[in-house]
Amino acid sequence: MFHRNVIAAPLVLIGMSLALAACSGWSLSPPMRGNPVVQPLNLPAAQNAAPQAGANFDQALAGEYAGLATHLSQVDRDWADSDYFSRKGLAATRGRTVLPEENSNWLVPLEVPLKTRNELATGRQRLMAALDGGARERNPAVAARAQERYDCWVERMEDDWRTAINGPCHADFVAALNELEGAKQPAAAPAAAPAAATRQYNVYFDWDKSTLTPDARKIIAAVAQQAKADNSHVAITGKADLSGTDAYNMKLSHRRADAVREQLVKDGVPANSIDARWVGMREPPVPTAKGVREPRNRVVEINFH
């Protein structure tokens, strides 16, 4: 007779060994941030280790991360990220230095033109300045809340930037950060010179599609407005990811470039002010192995002359 225990015992041993290995660190090196196989071990451990009321920053941070990991598991069913933040909480209980997330370790889209990564980086800089300026000691509970809410914001931005960019995690982070920074405001600085206009835009496409999304149309409208205001010449380059054949992707990138060019003309950019080319899978913005469906490679890049 076949018994589940014959397999269950080895799986538990494998899971425990993975859990121990996972405790060595967290990042995209190795590529998997969290491990859903060992999440059922690490989440209860994080929950049990977190104190009910943190007396210091590490204890408060452990409790915050346990709460985030629990939400990701029970509500979002995201067991990989739940495991990842469980391990950050466990590290905090052991007195290890646990820092806010680096957005470069997460796939956050639309750096251009919305500058989402810039916004995340600026938030982290403010947070680190507050933490290193004594916030961990002065107000450990709020400091821990600010760090956990920042990490939640980064995680949400990878999942769905449209709802996360000004969503609950972001709002909670800003509120906690403002409390840490206090009411002290620096003296008014001289008015800065106007920022230079963005010179490159990226229009992204769904896999195997050349149809413009609503977000793509907004970006193209911004390009057209700038091109008309500056009387600029526009260069567009259609690209595809490394799934499919070279010949197919060349045609697909051609269709994508044509779609952007046609919309620019509709938005008022003279046709003779647009140079279009397409390169298929030959100049990927993000080099990957053959066959990988990388969203950032399904793009038309727009530059101004």
Lowest-confidence pick of 73-77, 109-113, 292-296: 109-113
pLDDT tens digit string along 188-223? 445 444 444 556 788 999 999 999 988 889 989 989
Contacts (Cβ under 8 Å, ≥6 apart) of 298 = 204, 205, 206, 207, 209, 239, 240, 241, 256
Mean pLDDT of 179-194: 55
Both 273 and 230 in one domain: the answer is: yes
Both 123 and 253 in one domain: the answer is: no
285/295 Cα distance (integer angstroms)? 10
Tell me the pLDDT of the chain averaged across its residues. 82
Count of the separate structural domains present in the chain: 2
Q: Is pLDDT larger for residue 15 or for residue 90?
A: 90
Lowest-confidence pick of 95-99, 197-201, 252-256: 197-201
Q: Residue 160 burial (CB < 10 Å; 0-12/13-18/19+)?
A: exposed
Mean pLDDT of 148-172: 90
Structure tokens at 213: 């999304």
Mean pLDDT of 75-81: 91
pLDDT bin (cut points 50, 70, 90) of residue 276 is: very high
Q: Residue 29 falls within a domain, yes or no? A: yes
pLDDT bin (cut points 50, 70, 90) of residue 119 is: confident
Q: Which residue has the tokens 């697909």?
A: 252
Mean pLDDT of 91-98: 91
What is the CA angle 194-200-203, rounded to 5?
125
Mean pLDDT of 224-244: 92
Peptide bond into 100 cis (omega under 30): no
* 280 in Cβ contact with 242 (< 8 Å): no
Both 165 and 17 in one domain: the answer is: yes
Q: Which residue has the tokens 């589940």?
A: 4
Domain end position, chosen among 152, 181, 210: 181
234-238 vs 274-278, strand pairing mode: parallel
- The residues that bridge with 201 in the sheet, in sequence order, are 302
Both 175 and 45 in one domain: the answer is: yes
What is the CA angle 127-130-136, rounded to 5?
105
196/175 Cα distance (integer angstroms)? 30
Q: Is pLDDT larger for residue 169 or for residue 184?
A: 169
Both 103 and 244 in one domain: the answer is: no
Q: How many CB atoms lie within 10 A of CB 205?
A: 26
Predicted TM-score of the model (pTM): 0.54
Which CATH number goes with the domain that contains 281?
A: 3.30.1330.60
pLDDT bin (cut points 50, 70, 90) of residue 259 is: very high
Contacts (Cβ under 8 Å, ≥6 apart) of 260 = 203, 212, 216, 220, 236, 238, 276, 300, 302
Q: What integer pLDDT is reported at residue 220 of this predicted model?
A: 92
Q: Percent of the chain at pLDDT above 90?
A: 52
Domain end position, chosen among 148, 181, 214: 181
pLDDT bin (cut points 50, 70, 90) of residue 166 is: confident
Q: What integer pLDDT is reported at residue 92 of this predicted model?
A: 92
Q: Residue 257 falls within a domain, yes or no? A: yes
pLDDT of residue 24 exceeding 50, the answer is no
Q: Note down the domain range covering 40.
A: 8-181
Both 128 and 225 in one domain: the answer is: no
pLDDT winner (highest mean) among 2-16, 109-123, 178-192, 256-270: 256-270
Q: Is pLDDT larger for residue 19 or for residue 31?
A: 31
